[in-house]
């Protein structure tokens, strides 16, 4: 058996136009999957799809919008007839501010995309996964969701929510052959970090025992495993990709 083989599997990767999502989509496509690059930035998603594989396609998706999530899933069902894998990757970091300075809008924006988006996209793929009696959902949380980071409370809370959502949904579908897992990366070198202040980056890097930033491909490798049948006895878990930062 070829390890982590995804031949003929279909996968939606949210926020896949760049960064970690792009690395995940590439990795799944290289393993044989047909992938949809679903992103708010359609132009970049198209370019990414073109680079990845001839049968990859781009979709406009705002994960925070229920109708948009449903439309994206419907488009994939029309194209493929089934959805084997959902990767909830789209996320934003928001403004780095202490709680006393956070606006309601700051809070809502981050929670809507990172947490509600994970709920909306997962909810939309469940009916086809239940009908086909098989599915794998992998969400990209963050080490911030386990440990908390100062001046990133809204982000950390959203990712803690993703971890708990993962555990709850996994239990809900434990007898449906739908596995639900997530990963919690520490600092990964992507465009997302462009909005993080230098001292915040230094603080977060200093917390990583391996002493370096992670690479998007290092996240993609773990996500690929969790999405594949090689992880058939793994559900409701949060895998660390944190260079040794997490102690549990
Ligand atoms: N980079 C890190 O250090 C790091 C660490 C831990 C977790 N993460 C998580 O990994 C995921 C990917 O992060 P990244 O570093 O690749 O970020 P990134 O900013 O490089 O890419 C995020 C992608 O998501 C898309 N996106 C944003 N809002 C969207 C929406 N509403 N609907 C659909 N797409 C949307 C963007 O257009 C972009 O293509 C995020 O959930 C992030 O929180 C990142």
Q: What is the mean pLDDT of residues 3-19?
A: 95
> So what's the pLDDT on residue 248?
72
Ligand 1, atom 1, residue with closest C-alpha: 188
237 to 18, 51, 181: CA distances (angstroms): 25, 32, 5
Q: Residue 154: which residues within 8 A CB-CB, separation 6 or more?
A: 94, 102, 106, 107, 110, 111
The residue with greater pLDDT, 165 or 2, is 165
- pLDDT score of 246 more than 90: no
pLDDT in tens, 153-190: 999 999 999 999 999 999 999 999 999 999 999 999 99
If residue 241 lies in a helix (H) or strand (E), which one and from where to where?
Answer: strand 238-241
Share of the chain above pLDDT 90, in %: 90
Nearest atom (ligand 1) to Cα of 114: 41
Cα 209 to middle of ligand 1, angstroms: 24
pLDDT in tens, 30-56: 999 999 999 999 999 999 999 999 899
- Active-site annotation holds for 155: yes
Structure tokens, 30: 């290289």
Cα 231 to middle of ligand 1, angstroms: 24
Cα 186 to middle of ligand 1, angstroms: 13
Nearest atom (ligand 1) to Cα of 213: 3
- Is-contact 142 119, C-beta < 8 A? no
pLDDT in tens, 105-160: 999 999 999 999 999 999 999 999 999 999 999 999 999 999 999 999 999 999 99
> So what's the pLDDT on residue 201?
87
Q: Where do the domains of the chain lie?
A: 10-240
The DSSP symbol for 99 reads G
User: d(Cα 170, Cα 1) in Å, to the nearest integer?
Assistant: 27
Pocket lining: 18 vs ligand 1, CB cutoff 6 Å: yes
Q: Give the closest residue to 45 by CA, choosing from 10, 76, 19, 6.
A: 19
Pocket lining: 21 vs ligand 1, CB cutoff 6 Å: yes
> So what's the pLDDT on residue 3?
75
pTM for the complete prediction? Answer: 0.98
Instruction: Give the CATH number of domain 10-240; options: 3.40.50.620, 3.30.420.40, 3.90.105.10, 3.40.50.720.
Output: 3.40.50.720
Pocket lining: 94 vs ligand 1, CB cutoff 6 Å: no
- Is-contact 189 214, C-beta < 8 A? yes
Mutation pick for ligand 1 pocket among 91, 112, 147, 212 (CB with most ligand atoms within 8 Å): 91
Ligand 1, atom 38, residue with closest C-alpha: 15
């Amino acid at each position: 058996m070829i390890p982590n083989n995804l031949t003929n599997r279909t996968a939606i990767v949210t926020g896949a136009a760049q960064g970690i999502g792009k690395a995940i989509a590439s990795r799944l496509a290289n393993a044989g999957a047909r992938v949809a690059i679903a992103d708010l930035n359609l132009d970049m998603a198209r370019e990414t799809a073109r680079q990845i594989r001839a049968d990859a396609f781009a979709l406009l998706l705002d994960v925070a919008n229920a109708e948009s999530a449903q439309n994206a899933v419907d488009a994939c069902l029309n194209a493929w007839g089934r959805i084997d894998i959902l990767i909830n990757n789209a996320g934003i970091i928001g403004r780095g501010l202490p709680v006393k300075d956070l606006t309601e809008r700051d809070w809502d924006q981050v929670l809507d995309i990172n947490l509600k988006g994970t709920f909306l996209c997962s909810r939309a793929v469940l009916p086809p996964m239940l009908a086909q009696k098989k599915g794998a959902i992998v969400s990209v949380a963050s080490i911030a969701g386990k440990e908390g980071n100062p001046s990133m409370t809204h982000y950390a809370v959203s990712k803690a929510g993703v971890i708990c959502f993962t555990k709850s949904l996994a239990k809900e579908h434990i007898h449906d052959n739908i596995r639900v897992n997530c990963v919690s990366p520490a600092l990964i070198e992507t465009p997302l970090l462009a909005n993080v202040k230098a001292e915040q980056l230094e603080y977060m890097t200093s917390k990583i025992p391996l002493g370096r930033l992670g690479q998007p491909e290092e996240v993609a490798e773990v996500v690929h495993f969790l999405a594949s049948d090689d992880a058939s006895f793994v559900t409701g878990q949060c895998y660390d990709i944190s260079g040794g930062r997490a102690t549990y």
